[in-house]
Structure 1
Amino acid sequence: MMKEDSIDCKPNLETYAMLFNVLLKKFNKLNVSYVYLNAVRSLNKQMKALGVVPDTYVLNMIIKAYAKCLQVDEAVRVFREMGLYGCEPNAFSYGYLFKGCCEKGRVWQGFGFFKEMREKGLVPSSGAYMVLVCSLALERKFEDAVEVLRDMLGNSLKPDLLTYRTLLEEMCRDGKGIEALELLEEFRKKDVAMGERTYNELVDSLHFVDR
C-alpha cells in the first residue's frame, strides 16, 4: 500500500531495515532459509527501484541472508558493492562472509577474508572465529588454524570445547599428537576460562585418538 502513488508515505531505509530484520529471524534452518531468500531478493530489487540507498546495516543483513543459504558468490557481490553506496564493511560484514565461505567448503577464500579484516583491525565474533578454526583444522591447515585460535585468545574470546577438540584431535589423527598436547598446555595457560573438567576431557580425547 505504501508503494501506491496515491499514498503520501513511501517506504524509506528504516522501512526496509525493519522488513529485512524480520525476514532474517526466519533464517533458522537451511531449507526454510531458501524460501525466505526469495523475499530478501525481491525487497532488495524493490529498494533499488525506489532509489532508497542502503546503509551498512541493511547490506550486512543481505550478505547474511545469502551466506546462510550458502549463496557465497551473491554474498561476495553485495560485499563488493558496499563502496558504491558509500558504506564501509565492518566486522559483521566480514564475519558473515567468511563463515559462509567455510560452510560452503571454500575455506581458503574464507581465510582470505579473515586476514583482510584483521589487517583492518576488525575483530570477528566468537562464533565466526570458531567456524574458521574448525574448518581449517578439517582441511589439515593446522598452522593457520592455530594462528586463528591464538588470535582469538589474544582478543579475550574463548573457544568452546568442540573447537579445541576438532583442532587437537585432527592433529592427532595426522600424527601430530605430541604437538597437540603441547598446544593444549599453551591454550590452558592462555584461556583462564578453561576449567579442570574441560582440560581433562581434552587430554582423555587426545589419548583416545592417538591410540
Structure 2
Amino acid sequence: MLSSTLARRLKNPIFIQTTLLPFTTHSLSTKPTSHFPSQTPHTTTSPPNDDDSAAVFETLSCYGNDWKRALEFFNWAEAQAQFPHPAETYNRMIDILGKFFEFDLSWDLIERMKRTTTITTAAPSSAPNHATFRVLFNRYAAAHLVGEAVGVYRDRLEGFNLKDEASFCNLIDALCEHKHVIEAYDLCFGKTDGGDFAGKNSTKVHNMILRGWFKMGWWGKCREFWEEMDRKGVEKDLVSYSIYMDIVCKSGKPWKAVKLYKYMKSKGMKLDVVAYNTVIRAIGLSDGVDFALRVFREMRELGCDPNVVTCNILIKLLCENGRLRDAYKLLDEMPKRGVMPDVITYHSFFANLGRPKEILLLFDRMIGSGVRPRMDTYVMLMRKFGRWGFLRPVFVVWKKMEELGCSPDEFAYNALIDALVDKGMVDLARKYDEEMLAKGLSAKPRAELDTKMVEGG
C-alpha cells in the first residue's frame, strides 16, 4: 500500500514533475509490448486508505489529457508502490481511456477489475460497479457510439450482475447528456426494445428525457413532452419543475420560469436548493440582480441553505452587472457561511475583470485557497491575455499549469500558439505546434506556420 509519505508526494507538483513525469516518459519509451502488467495483480491484506486513493485519483486527473502517461502511472502505482486500486481509481482510468476512444483498453481494465476481486482481499472494493458502467456509457455516448452503449447494457451487464434499473437509467442519462435523446426516447417508449425497464411511467425516466430535449435546445419539443407527461398521467416532482423552469429560462423566457415558481409556491411545494438556484437565475435575468438577492434571502429565511451553485449564480449576475465590489464581498462571505468557492466561482470574475494584474492576483488567490484550476481555466485566461496582446501573463499561466502537473490539451496549445503568432514569435510558435502534433493533438492550420488543413477536413 502507498505510505502516507508517498501519498503526500503525489499531491506535490514538484514530485510529479521531477519523478513521475520522467518515470512515465521512460516507461513509454522502453515498454516492449502490452500496456498492462503480465504478472498476477498484487495481493494485499487491506484496502487502500482514503488519502492514498485521493492522491492517486488526483494524479490520474493531472494526466487526463495524456492517456498513455496516465496508464503508465496507473500500472506503476499498482506494481511498484503496491497500491491496490479501488473501483474509484479504476473508473477514473477507464474514463480517461474512453476520452481517447481506447475502448478495448477500457474493457481490459474492466476484466482486470473482475479478476482482481477473485484473488485479492481488496474485493469487493475494486469490483466493477454501476459507476464503472456509467462512465463507459458516458464515453460511448460522447463518441456517438450509441449502438455500442446499448449493446453493453443488453448483452454484457448480466455477466457482472448489473443489468438492472439503475444501469438502464445510467444508459438513458448518458444518451440524453450527449444529445442522443431520440435514441433514448425510442428505447424508453417506442421503436427500440429497451428491455424490462422501458415503457414505464417512471417520473425519473421522463425527467431524464425532458432534460435530453433541453440539452438539444429543442424548446418546442420540450413543451410537447411536458404536456405529454400530463396526458400519460406521469406524476411531476420537484425535479420535473426545476428542469422545466430551466428550460423556459434558457429559451429566453425567464419570466415564465418566475411564473412557474409562483405556481409552485401556491401549490405549497417546498423548494429545494436546486429549484431555488433556477429561480434565482431566472429572476436575476428577468427582474434584475436585486430581486435575485431578495429570493436568496427568502431562501435562507425558509431554512434552505444555499450551496456553491447558488453563490456562483449571484456572483455571475453581480459581475455581469458591473458590481464587482459586491461580488468580492460575497466571495469573502462564502467560507463564513460554510460554502467553499469552486473553480466556477472564479471563472465569473475572470470573465469580467479588465486588468491582467488583478486577474493574476485572483488566480494566485484561487490556487492558494486550494481550488485547482481546470484545463478550461488555463485556456480562458491565455485566450483573454492573448486577445489583449499581453504575452507575459500567457506564459505565467502556462508555467503554472506545468507546475501543477497538468498536461495541456489541444485548446491550451492553440491558445499559446495563437498568442505567439500574434506577437510575431513564429519560431517559438512552430516549436509548440510540433510538440502538440508529436503528442497526437490537433493543431489549427496557420498560414504563418506553413500549415494547412488536411484534404477532406
- TM-score by shorter chain over 0.5: yes
Superposition deviation, residue 185 in structure 1: 1.4
Return closer, same or farther for 1:186/1:52 CA change in 2, 3 Å cut-off.
Answer: closer
Unaligned 5+ runs, structure 1: 1-13
Check if 1:122 corresponds to 2:340: yes
**Are 2:389 and 2:419, in contact at CA under 8 Å, matched by a contact in 1?**
no
1:84 aligns with 2:301: yes
Aligned CA-pair RMSD: 3.5
**Structure 1 Cα separation of the partners of residues 243 and 308 of structure 2:** 18
The total of aligned residue pairs comes to: 188
Q: Post-superposition shift, 1:89?
A: 0.7
Q: 2:371 aligns with which of 137, 155, 166?
A: 155
**1:24 alignment partner, one of 246, 257, 260:** 246
Higher Cα Rg, which structure: 2
Residue 313 of structure 2 is matched in structure 1 by 96
In 2: Cα distance, 1:68 partner to 1:181 partner: 36
The amino acid across from 1:184 in the alignment is: W
> Is the 1:64–1:75 Cα contact (8 Å) retained in structure 2?
yes
Return the letter of the residue paired with 1:45.
K
Higher RCO structure, 1 or 2 (CA under 8 Å, sep 6+): 1
Residue 408 of structure 2 aligns to a residue whose secondary structure is coil
Distance (whole Å) between structure 1 residues aligned to residue 367 and residue 323 of structure 2:
22
Identity of aligned residues (%): 21
Long gaps (5+) in structure 2: 1-235, 426-457
Deviation at 1:150, TM superposition (A): 2.7
Q: Does 1:181 align with 2:389?
A: no
Among 404, 424, 428, the alignment partner of 1:190 is 404
CA contact (8 A) 2:319 2:352 kept: yes
Among 369, 377, 381, the alignment partner of 1:164 is 381
Alpha-carbon distance, 1:54 to partner: 2.5
Shift of 1:189: 1.8
Distance 1:53 1:198, change over 3 A: closer
| Cα distance, 1:81 vs structure 2 | 1.6
CA distance in structure 1 between the partners assigned to 2:347 and 2:398 by the alignment = 16
1:83, distance to aligned residue in structure 2 (A)? 1.8
Q: Aligned AA for 1:23?
A: M
Shift in alpha-carbon separation, 1:27–1:186, aligned structure 2, 3 A? same
Q: Counterpart amino acid of 1:79? A: F
Pick from 46, 55, 62 the counterpart of residue 263 of structure 2. Answer: 46
